[in-house]
Amino acid sequence: MKVLLVLLVFSCSFFCVCGFQQRAFEDEELVQQETSQIKECLNNKYTHNSCKKVFCHPWQRCVGGSCICKLPYQCPKNTTFVCSTNGKQFQNYCQLKAYECQHPQEKFMSKAKCRPSEKFEVSLDYADSQSEGLIQVKLVNHTEKLFICNSGWSMNEANVVCRHLGFKIGAKYHTKTSEVRESALTSSHCLHATCRGLETSLAECTLIEKSNINSKENFASVVCHKEDKECLLTEFRCVNEKCIPLTETCNGIN
């Protein structure tokens, strides 16, 4: 009986040690795999246009591992008219996006034939710099500007606003306190924006007009990323050219 008890204790100890060693080995393998993937990404400088990792948009094609724009005539010929922010009309969204690659000023405005009076305007106001402030939007066929609601506001929407305004890299921060005069609150509504984050025009996002409580704290603000900015010692130069704080390099936010 004593011999059997000793054997049982020895067996339990052996399997416990082996199990622990196996888990440690698997954890180490996982860390090595993740490290290898990070090195691969850094060495190859993958972005959202790397077709080895993602599918290209309908207005793009994969060449040499990168998504490059088609020529407009290479898009489907179906007719669902769209209009650009400069009033140029296209047969469909694909043609507009393909044309935009060569002419960045021709951004999407609306899914309809162009009309001379239609405008879609985005501006940054109530700040000391042209690259930051509260966002105001004048929708097509609207006479007044609306602020963007702070609810649901994220880096996705901030990046799109900045690109719409010509800041190619996108946003640096998507929250910043900005003062606004009570006299500027001309509407009891604001726009709730939802974007994927890769759009170049805010008009491509889902914009829903909602009521608010006339408080500046309910409005979204942004700081756009300047292309000539030097990264600080506490920042990392990302593949998308942004200066990312070292504490936020792997948070999944573009």
Q: Is residue 156 part of a domain?
A: yes
Cα 111–Cα 115–Cα 118 angle in degrees, nearest 5 = 80
Residue range(s) defining the domain that contains residue 237: 119-254
Q: Classify residue 40: in a domain, yes or no.
A: no
Across 40-69, b (16+ Cβ under 10 Å) vs e yields: eeeeeebeebbbeeeebbebbeeeeeebeb
Residue 240 covered by a domain: yes
Query: Is 203 contained in some domain?
Result: yes
Confidence of residue 230 (pLDDT cuts 50, 70, 90): confident
Q: Report d(CA 101, CA 96) in Å as an integer.
A: 9
Q: Which residues contact 126 (CB under 8 A, 6 or more apart)?
A: 133, 134, 178, 179, 180, 181, 184
Confidence (pLDDT) at 31 = 55
- For position 140, which CATH number holds? 3.10.250.10
Is the pLDDT at 196 greater than 90, yes or no? yes
Stretch among 99-103, 207-211, 213-217, 245-249 having the lowest mean pLDDT: 213-217
Average the pLDDT over 96-110 and give the result. 95
To the question of pTM greater than 0.85 for the whole model, the response is no
- Give every CB contact of residue 18 below 8 A, 6+ residues apart in sequence: none
The CA-CA-CA angle for residues 211, 116, 190, to 5°, reads 10
190 belongs to a structural domain? yes
Residue-wise pLDDT for 108-146, tens only, equals 999 999 998 889 999 998 877 889 999 999 999 888 899
Convert the pLDDT of each residue in 10-38 to its tens digit: 455 544 545 555 666 555 665 566 556 55
Tell me whether residue 111 is in a domain. Answer: no
**Which of the pair, 215 or 152, is modelled with greater confidence?**
152
Which of the pair, 188 or 130, is modelled with greater confidence?
130
Structural domain count, the chain: 1
User: Binning pLDDT at 50, 70 and 90, where does residue 102 land?
Assistant: very high
Asked if residue 78 is part of any domain, the answer here is: no
Residue 62 lies in a domain: no
